Structure formats: C-alpha cells, structure tokens
C-alpha cells in the first residue's frame, strides 16, 4: 500500500483506471503493464531483501526495471556480499539481523526469500513495521502460523503477494482458470495435483559450520541441532545437507514436496474449485505416504538424513463429495475434471477437448482479465507476478496471490503432511480449523519457537 509515500506512487492518468484491464482479452493484446504506469525515475520502488539466495536473485532480476535494492539481510555473509553485487552493484546496506533492515524509512517494500521455517516471523514483523511484502511460498510451516498471518494482514491492511507465480502464468494456468470460470467443464467433481516425489539421502555427518554462516540464526525458531553436510562424491553440486536448498527435505524446516510443489499445484486446484463455486474447505483427508526413515508418534526416529515423504497419494474430500487428489506418481501438473469435460495444465502445456473447442467457440474477450482480477499483465510469469505485486502495493489492492487464498490451499498441504507423519486419515473442521477427534494430530497445528526467536508482535508507534 505504501500510503506513507504517496508522491512516489502515482500512476499515469491514462492507465489509472483498473477497469481498463477487464477489456483486455490476453496479455499479448495491448496490455496495460506496470511499465506503462511508471512515471519517472523517481517512481522506482526501493526494496529490502531478507534471504539472499537463488530465489531472491531470480525475483530481483525479474523486477529490476521497477525496483532498487537498498538493503539486504542474510545470515550467510558470503551470500549477502555476492547478492549485493548482483542486485545493486554493491550499493545496498548489508545486515545479518533482518530487524535492522525493517527500521529503514527509505524502504518501500520487503522481499522475504528465506528458507520456509523463516517465512512467518519476518513477514509478520514487516507488516507490523508498515511494509508491503512479497514473500516466497509456502508462507508457513504450520496451520496456526497461517491464522496469525491472516489476522495481522487484516489488522494492518498491508499488501502481501505470495510467490506462487503460476497464478500469473499466461496463457496456460490463467487461461485454464478462465475455462473453468466460464463453465466449459461444467460442475467440477475432481481435481488432481501431481507434484512428484522427494529425494532420500545417505547418512549425513555432522560437519564444521562454514565461517561465513551464522548457523544459530539460520536455525532461528527451529530446534537447535548440529550442522550437517556430506560433499558430493564426484565433487559436483551441493551434496547433502540440512542447510541451503536441501532444507526442504527436512520437516524441521519445510513440508517436503507437499508444500514445495504442492504450494503451486494445490493452489491451482483450489483456485479452480473456488471459481466453480466451492465455498467451504475440506472435511477429510485419506491416503498413504512413504518416508525414508522410521516414524514414531509423528517424529522421525533418525536425525541424520532427509525425512520428508518420498512417495504419497492423498484424497481430500470436500462438502458435496468433490475430491482433490495429491500424488507423486504421474505427470507433473494439474488435472481438472468436470461433468462436461476435463483439462490438464502444467508449465509447458494446456490440453483437453475443452481447450480444442476454443477454436470454434473462443472465450469471451474479458475472460482472462476477469479471473486475473482486472489487474495489469506482463509477458513472463515471474515478471508478471512482480508487476502484479507492485501495482497492488501502489493502489492498495489485493494481489492475485493473497495470503487468505494461499492459506486455504496450504492448510490442505499441511494436513497431508500431518496425515503422512502419523500414517492415518484425518477429519477436518474447516470452520474452527481443527482436526476432529485426534488431539495428537491437532498438536501438529503449531510448533514451539526456540527461545530468542519468537515473533515480535509490537507495532511501531
């Protein structure tokens, strides 16, 4: 929203009307882009980056025509310094503690691109500091963290874009949603998110922490454990570790493939259900999963190797009998089945008879723009997602990937993870956001934060 800097956030009068986008049939047909709205060099957005790994680098590269990176925070000094050169030519201020970055009055927006277990705390504190935020997915490690994020966003009114950039993929995913919204599939009875399996690892030994890494701060709210690293046998690649990138295969820091790719494809499934009139969340989740280690009472018995589910298949049931299937063992992508037809979409194709039928019966001219909330469009998914965020930050509007719809679908991913860890089916009360009749499973809706790394809920005066 950035109400504190209105003079730097004005649009060209010729493109200010949000409704204009609703008449644009596709992104390549005279779109109203963010670039059209940039008035002068003084309109550039200043940004602070929290977590300076590869994801942040790719995102800033996509947004570079609109943003200037003025501050970077990372617990790995080497990453911070190399990212500073790439993102700002070495001009940004560097911090190990992101809280110092949040104190900057000259920062318009924040980008959170930390490991998953570090998303919720800086996101909430950034909102409380009066900043709009682009936060990588998945927003949370638990369902209860999502409740708090939604409350703080509602209380502060900050604009938060989640990094589920498939919501800005033209014409594949957005076009698929337009087909659904126009009723071309009829009443949807089943959706499927195929997200692939996760890797396992050999035993990973305790290793010396690299000099440039503050391991305690990398762990942050997660339990205190030893740093582990097994170099690759051929000397190529990252090897196995419980740190950079490979953190996603440990439940201590991530939800594994269920939240890594699930945050993308389950999101599309949930979007389709919502467009088709599904107003309530699920009532149950049933299925099975395989883990690379033994589990007892929901926790891994071994602590020296990857522990998230490697293979899985779950069926999520909604009121009325509609089903969502989450699986690893078929072509990566989203299958949407209705009583009038079905389509399959992934990052390279959109197929099915309803797609073929568009040749003779095309979508209405405003169909794409309507499902994209009538917002500006760009020609590249990551660039488009940033354009969407920056436009909504300027205008104080809800972005295409908002925290509320994100948590609706992420709750499903988290429930699948809890079901996997206990090896049993679950019943869900969506109105109270509680697992029914299973207090042991309910205890996994939250997690304890390590002392010194609790969320700071103080809002600056």
Q: Give residue 33's pLDDT band: very low, low, confident or very high (50, 70, 90).
A: low
Please state the rounded mean pLDDT for residues 75-83.
98
pLDDT tens column, 162-211: 999 999 999 899 999 999 999 999 999 999 999 999 999 999 999 999 99
Q: What is the pLDDT of residue 8?
A: 29
Please indicate whether residue 200 or residue 375 has the higher confidence score (pLDDT).
200
In this prediction, residue 7 has a pLDDT band, given cuts at 50, 70 and 90, of very low
Question: 315 with 325: CB under 8 angstroms?
Answer: yes
- Tell me what pLDDT residue 376 has: 81
What ranges do the domains of the chain cover?
A: 6-168+384-395
On the question of pLDDT at 32 being above 60, the answer is: no
The answer, yes or no, to whether residue 22 has pLDDT greater than 50, is: no
Looking at residue 313, its pLDDT comes to 98
Average pLDDT, the chain: 91
Whole-number CA gyration radius for the chain: 22
pLDDT digits (tens, 9 = 90+) for 91-102: 999 999 999 999
Q: Which two tokens stand for residue 308?
A: 């998230």
For residues 126 and 120, give the distance between their C-alpha atoms in angstroms, rounded to a whole number: 10
Identify the residue with better confidence: 34 or 149. Answer: 149
Helix, strand, coil shares of the chain, percent, nearest 5, are: 35, 20, 45
Query: How far are the Cα atoms of 137, 271, 452 from residue 375, in angstroms, in the given order?
Result: 21, 17, 41
Q: Give dist(CA 74, CA 96) in Å, integer.
A: 5
Contacts of 230 (CB under 8 A, 6+ apart): 201, 202, 203, 204, 205, 207, 239, 240, 241
pLDDT value of residue 237? 87
Q: Higher model confidence: residue 415 or residue 380?
A: 415
Whether 9 shows a pLDDT value over 50: the answer reads no
Q: What is the DSSP string of 162-192?
A: ES-GGGG-TTHHHHHHHHHHTTTT-SEEEEE
Percent of the chain scoring above 90 in pLDDT: 86
pLDDT value of position 354: 98
| pLDDT at site 34 | 55
19 has pLDDT over 80: no
Higher local confidence (pLDDT), 57 or 238: 57
Query: Could you give phi then psi for residue 294, rounded to 5 degrees?
Result: -75, 145
Out of 135-149, 374-388, 418-432, which region has the weakest mean confidence (pLDDT)? 374-388
> Between the CA atoms of 432, 436, 437 and 442, what dihedral angle is there, to the nearest 10 degrees?
-70
pLDDT of residue 90: 98
pLDDT at position 23 over 60 = no
pTM for the whole structure: 0.91
Q: What is the pLDDT of residue 283?
A: 98
Check residue 5 and give its pLDDT.
36
- Is the pLDDT at 80 greater than 90, yes or no? yes
Q: What is the pLDDT of residue 461?
A: 57
Lowest mean pLDDT among 16-30, 169-183, 303-317: 16-30
Higher pLDDT: 268 or 29? It is 268
Contact (CB, 8 A) for 149 and 140: yes
6-168+384-395 folds as Rossmann fold (3.40.50)
Of the two residues 78 and 16, the one the predictor is more confident about is: 78
**pLDDT for the residue 25:** 28
Which pLDDT band holds residue 458 (cuts at 50, 70, 90)? confident
> What pLDDT is attached to residue 235?
85
pLDDT over 70 at 28, yes or no: no
Least confident of 144-158, 374-388, 399-413: 374-388
Rounded to whole angstroms, the Cα distance separating 227 from 432 reads 38
More confident residue, 3 or 216: 216
H or E segment to which residue 353 belongs: helix 353-356
Mean pLDDT, residues 444-458 taken together: 96
């Amino acid at each position: 929203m950035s109400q504190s800097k209105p003079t730097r956030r004005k649009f060209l009068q010729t493109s200010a009307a949000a409704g204009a986008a609703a008449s644009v049939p596709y992104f390549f047909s005279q779109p109203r882009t963010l670039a059209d709205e940039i008035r002068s060099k003084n309109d550039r957005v200043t940004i602070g980056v929290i977590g300076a790994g590869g994801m942040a680098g790719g995102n800033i590269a996509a947004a570079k025509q609109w943003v200037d990176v003025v501050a970077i925070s990372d617990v790995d000094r080497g990453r911070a310094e190399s990212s500073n050169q790439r993102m700002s030519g070495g001009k940004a201020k560097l911090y190990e503690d992101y809280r110092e970055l949040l104190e900057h009055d000259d920062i318009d927006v924040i980008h959170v691109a930390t490991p998953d277990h570090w998303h919720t705390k800086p996101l909430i504190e950034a909102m409380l500091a009066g900043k709009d935020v682009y936060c990588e997915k998945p927003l949370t490690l638990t369902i209860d963290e999502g409740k708090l994020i939604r409350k703080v966003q509602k209380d502060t009114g900050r604009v938060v874009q989640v990094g589920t950039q498939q919501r800005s993929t033209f014409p594949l995913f957005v076009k698929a949603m337009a087909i659904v919204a126009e009723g071309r599939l009829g009443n949807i009875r089943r959706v499927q998110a195929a997200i692939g399996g996760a890797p396992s690892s050999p035993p990973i030994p305790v290793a010396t922490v690299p000099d440039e890494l503050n391991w305690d701060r990398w762990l942050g709210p997660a339990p205190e454990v030893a740093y582990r690293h097994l170099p690759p046998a051929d000397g190529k690649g990252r090897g196995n570790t419980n740190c950079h990138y490979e953190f996603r295969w440990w439940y201590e820091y991530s939800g594994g493939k269920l939240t890594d790719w699930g945050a993308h494809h389950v999101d599309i499934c949930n979007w389709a259900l919502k467009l088709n009139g599904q107003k309530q969340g699920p009532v149950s989740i049933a299925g099975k999963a395989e883990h690379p280690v033994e589990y007892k009472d929901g926790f891994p018995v071994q602590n020296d190797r990857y522990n998230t589910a490697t293979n899985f298949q779950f069926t999520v049931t909604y009121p009325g009998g509609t089903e969502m299937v989450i699986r690893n063992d078929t072509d990566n992508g989203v299958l949407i089945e209705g009583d009038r037809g079905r389509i399959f979409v992934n990052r390279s194709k959109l197929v099915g008879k309803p797609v073929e039928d568009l040749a003779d019966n095309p979508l209405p001219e405003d169909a794409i723009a309507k499902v994209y909330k009538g917002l500006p469009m760009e020609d590249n998914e990551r660039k488009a997602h940033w354009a969407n965020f920056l436009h909504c930050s300027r205008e104080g509007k809800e972005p295409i990937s908002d925290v509320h719809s994100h948590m609706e679908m992420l709750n499903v991913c988290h429930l699948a993870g809890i079901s996997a860890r206990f090896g049993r089916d679950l019943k869900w009360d969506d109105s109270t956001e509680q697992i029914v009749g299973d207090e042991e499973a309910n205890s996994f809706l939250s997690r304890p934060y390590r002392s010194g790394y609790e969320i700071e809920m103080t809002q600056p005066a």
